[in-house]
A and B are shown apart, each in its own frame.
Chain A
Amino acid sequence: MNDMMNAVAEGEGRAAEAAAAIAESPAVSRSTSGEVKIHCVDVNVSYGDTKAIKEVSIDIEDKAVTAFIGPSGCGKSTFLRCLNRMNDTIDICKVTGKIELDGGNIYAEDVDPVQLRARVGMVFQKPNPFPKSIYDNVAYGPRIHGLAANKAELDNIVEQSLKRAALWEEVKDRLDQPGTGLSGGQQQRLCIARAVATAPEVLLMDEPCSALDPIATAQIEELIDELRQSYSVVIVTHSMQQAARVSQKTAFFHLGLMLEYDETGKIFTAPSHEKTLQYITGRFG
């Protein structure tokens, strides 16, 4: 009994921390453009016979960071991978419902996933730089999509992308060295630079900091906030503090359902769903 009380108290502490984090980020304007970038209606995802996502409808805004939170196995990553059709690479995965990017259904017959993924970039949980030089890693996207007309333009794109990923100063003298030789945080920023260089409109991030130490995490979070100026960013995270720090809107997933979706501040201070409250106060998850 006593233990439970403690847990509740601790959970309330966590919620308070998150609320404090919201209050403490003064640089970030909490307002959003309000323009809808991705419009999802009744999305269902199943792996064979198991349903991973049930009836999810959500509007993701442009030039804002949207966070997906929820306990492990709640389907938030699965849903994220629907947004750029990464689930297509898994044979048994089936997606129904409507997901529209700028008004066009991305699961329509005539939509090419290759083209879609160029518009909706993705950064993964574990940094996965290609075993190539730093330069080639970043130039990979522009090269396959023919974004640069000549070497000078390509150099330019690489430099700007690395700058956007706040990595330029650290690597500008060793662009020809393998990307796998960087530290974990640097590798993740390289992956972000790689995604940025492809010039996407939306950036999906699947727990981008879970494999990183706190300092690297702080750097990435700062970076996400920068990226918000140009992209619609969707981030899946395990850490409620992180969601509170970087996002403007937050969606709470539980057992394949999206239970609540609202302004981040509201979710963490006055959630309307009981499960959300339980989760952010640490009673499960």
Chain B
Amino acid sequence: MTTTVDFNELSAKHTGDANKSRLRARYWAEMRLKAYGIAAIGIAAAALLLLVSTIATKTANVVYEYYVQLEGQIDVSDRDRERLADPNPRMRANLRRVVQGSLTDAIPGEIGRREGRQLTGLVSGDAGLFLGDRVKAEPDLVGQTARFDALLDDNMQLYLKGAIGRPDAIDSAGVLSVAPGEEEGTVVVRFGASEIGPIFGAVRAQRAEDAERARAEQRRQQNAVDVTEARLLAAETDEERKALTTQLERFTTARERAEVEANALDRLATSIGGGTRYELTGRDPSLLFKVGDGWIKITEVERGEGLGQVYLPLGDRAEFEEGDWQAFVMARPEGERLQTDRQIVWMEYFSDQGKIVRAFNTRILSSSDSASAELAGIWGAVVGSFWTMVVTFLLAFPLGVMASIYLEEFAPKNRVTDLIEVNINNLAAVPSIVFGLLGLAIFVSGVPVNLFGNEFTIGGFLPRSSPLAGGTVLALMTLPTIIIAGRASIRAVPPSIRDAALGLGASKLQTATHHVLPLAMPGILTGSIIGMAQALGETAPLLLVGMNSFIQEPPGDPLAPGNVLPTLIYQWNSNSERLFDDKTAAAISVLLIFLVVMNALAVLLRKRFERRW
């Protein structure tokens, strides 16, 4: 039995005081939902911003490339002379020796064999070839002394861009006296009145930092030990206990190791610069002294005195006034970078001499892939992408248009049509890598079939790694997109136009091709461009059909082996050289520019031809 409800009493609740606070709570809930929405948009925007800025900053690193200006006599061997005379541009002379000789000449002082290799490492491995190309173009240069620019090695370019930092100048007061050391090429330096605290300070700070890191590791391991001990106490089965005990041992050892290391580093940090002699290692910051015209690298320090190695000759003077010498600290230790101290000194010397030339980096656009980071470019992949897209378009567009006309204008309502529709919708959602497997099996390798005891291979008619194979796979992937877009725009053409054409006695096919298709074409094109843009960024299926090969020359036709921009990005990303990171970003920028252009085209097309019936 229910009691009667007094609706008037309920109505009164709407204006009551209790409702005021209730309303406030309800609006608060609304604000919260709104805030979640704004936060969601914010997250998406922040992610995009971060992505774009990552790529932009890394791309900015490769906008320029660096050369060193050299001068040397162009002496060529007989073999090179032959190659220089050969009209075939593929016959290139490598004037490596000229480059090496000019480098040696450019640097004052003697250069030993071990240093010689570091010296060659300053310039790109292909510097000799580039010089050869130039001499081939200007044959008069042979035998002459010529000035030329040699492309620097990727690590040197990174150094000049400040990727690993440059030597920092530190306080260098007082007179510096230099005396020859016991060994050849070494010197003993006395700092005289100079306050050399900062010099040790840098080393000490580095050691203290290392010690702190070791302490943190020790704390982390201690934490793991504690947790594991607690779990061990709570463990129920023997098996568990056994596993935990092993873990515990591992954590304990790690903690002890970290502790020992931390203590040692602490001791070191406090002792440096004291009375004891300290030998600088590859894990310490480098101390480099610019003394007059020369450079010294300090290898051992003691209060007021140091032992150094001469990297560039100092001349005959034994004493240098304040202002005549300068101490530098290179914070990143030599052991943690690919540029030796000697190379850094040489680079600084070239910089001081004004021999470093910065040029706009067109190489990345115009050259193809290379194992050397400073030489690698995207041209081969761009051409590969172009051929692949041509194949994709030529296959997918006509087939897509034909299929959409059939499905919209002719298809009877039956099971086959239903099956086709279901298939199209499903194919649009099949992972791209599955298409890659399809392409690999059917187009590239062929599917082995055993028929009546005979081995046959079905398919396998397209060459591996070729844009033709890649384009065919992408065409199959793009087809559903084009068909779906095509059907939508054909459906958007009003029936009145069909009726008008049919009423004038046109056949169904004539109606479709003469009247419906032209009106639907902008929509189909828009959909196709969007589909092509997706295909342009596709990677996984192309990896499987072998389009990740190392291609040093752009494919001349769709049958030659090639790669595409996305697979090039993948390959470069897995390279360890730092400069490849930046070049990868640059390749991504180019890819994104292509995509932006294509999408803008699609939007423009839609805006221009959009028609409401």
Query: Chain B interface: which of A72-80, A144-152, A234-242?
Result: A144-152
List which A237-258 residues lie within 8 A (CB) of chain B: none
Q: Note all chain A residues with C-beta closer than 8 A to B26.
A: 114, 144
Q: Which 4 A-B pairs have the closest CB atoms?
A: A199-B10, A160-B5, A199-B11, A118-B14
Report Cα–Cα, A159/B2, bound state, in Å. 8
- Mark interface residues in A107-119 (1 if CB within 8 Å of B CB, else 0): 0000010110011
Report Cα–Cα, A155/B11, bound state, in Å. 17
List which B1-43 residues lie within 8 A (CB) of chain A: 2-5, 7-8, 10-11, 13-15, 18-19, 22-23, 26
Closest residue of chain B to A119, judged by CB? B14
Report Cα–Cα, A106/B400, bound state, in Å. 58
User: What distance in Å separates the Cβ of A74 from its nearest Cβ neighbour in chain B?
Assistant: 29
List which A79-113 residues lie within 8 A (CB) of chain B: 112
Question: Would you give 5 A-B contacts (Cβ < 8 Å), ordered by A?
Answer: A147-B10, A156-B5, A157-B5, A199-B13, A200-B11
Report Cα–Cα, A217/B212, bound state, in Å. 84
Contact of A115 among B2, B18, B19 (CB under 8 A): B19
The majority secondary structure among interface residues of chain B is: helix
- In the complex, the answer to whether A112 meets B23 with C-beta atoms within 8 Å is yes
- Mark interface residues in A128-165 (1 if CB within 8 Å of B CB, else 0): 00000000000000101111000000011101100000
- Given the interface pairs A155-B2, A160-B2, the reply to whether A115 lies near B10 with Cβ below 8 Å is no
User: What distance in Å separates the Cβ of B5 from its nearest Cβ neighbour in chain A?
Assistant: 4
Contact of B3 among A142, A156, A196, A199 (CB under 8 A): A156
What count of chain A residues pass the 8 Å CB interface test? 20
Q: Note all chain A residues with C-beta closer than 8 A to B10.
A: 142, 147, 157, 199
Check: A201 CB closer than 8 A to any chain B CB. Answer: yes
- Using a CB–CB cutoff of 8 Å, the interface residues on chain B facing chain A are 2-5, 7-8, 10-11, 13-15, 18-19, 22-23, 26
Report Cα–Cα, A199/B19, bound state, in Å. 14
Check: A230 CB closer than 8 A to any chain B CB. Answer: yes
Q: Note all chain B residues with C-beta closer than 8 A to A196.
A: 7
Q: Note all chain B residues with C-beta closer than 8 A to A112.
A: 23
- In the complex, the answer to whether A199 meets B14 with C-beta atoms within 8 Å is yes
The majority secondary structure among interface residues of chain A is: helix
- In the complex, the answer to whether B2 meets A147 with C-beta atoms within 8 Å is no
Report Cα–Cα, A144/B2, bound state, in Å. 22
Q: Note all chain B residues with C-beta closer than 8 A to A144.
A: 26
Q: Note all chain B residues with C-beta closer than 8 A to A199.
A: 7-8, 10-11, 13-14
- Given the interface pairs A155-B2, A159-B2, A160-B2, the reply to whether A201 lies near B11 with Cβ below 8 Å is yes
User: What distance in Å separates the Cβ of B542 from its nearest Cβ neighbour in chain A?
Assistant: 46
Apart from the given pairs A144-B26, A160-B4, A199-B7, 17 other A-B contacts in the complex at a CB distance below 8 Å: A112-B23, A114-B23, A119-B11, A119-B15, A145-B13, A145-B14, A145-B19, A146-B18, A146-B19, A155-B2, A156-B2, A156-B3, A160-B7, A199-B10, A201-B11, A230-B7, A230-B8
User: What distance in Å separates the Cβ of B10 from its nearest Cβ neighbour in chain A?
Assistant: 4
Q: Note all chain A residues with C-beta closer than 8 A to B13.
A: 145-147, 199
User: What distance in Å separates the Cβ of A171 from its nearest Cβ neighbour in chain B?
Assistant: 15
Closest residue of chain A to B14, judged by CB? A118
Q: Note all chain A residues with C-beta closer than 8 A to B11.
A: 119, 199-201
Report Cα–Cα, A112/B14, bound state, in Å. 11
User: What distance in Å separates the Cβ of A20 from its nearest Cβ neighbour in chain B?
Assistant: 34
- Given the interface pairs A156-B2, A157-B5, A199-B7, the reply to whether A146 lies near B22 with Cβ below 8 Å is yes
- Mark interface residues in A186-225 (1 if CB within 8 Å of B CB, else 0): 0000000000100111000000000000000000000000
Closest residue of chain A to B10, judged by CB? A199
User: What distance in Å separates the Cβ of A80 from its nearest Cβ neighbour in chain B?
Assistant: 20
Report Cα–Cα, A278/B344, bound state, in Å. 101
Report Cα–Cα, A238/B13, bound state, in Å. 35
User: What distance in Å separates the Cβ of B269 from its nearest Cβ neighbour in chain A?
Assistant: 67
- With most chain B CB atoms within 10 A of its CB, the pick from A142, A145, A157, A159 is A145
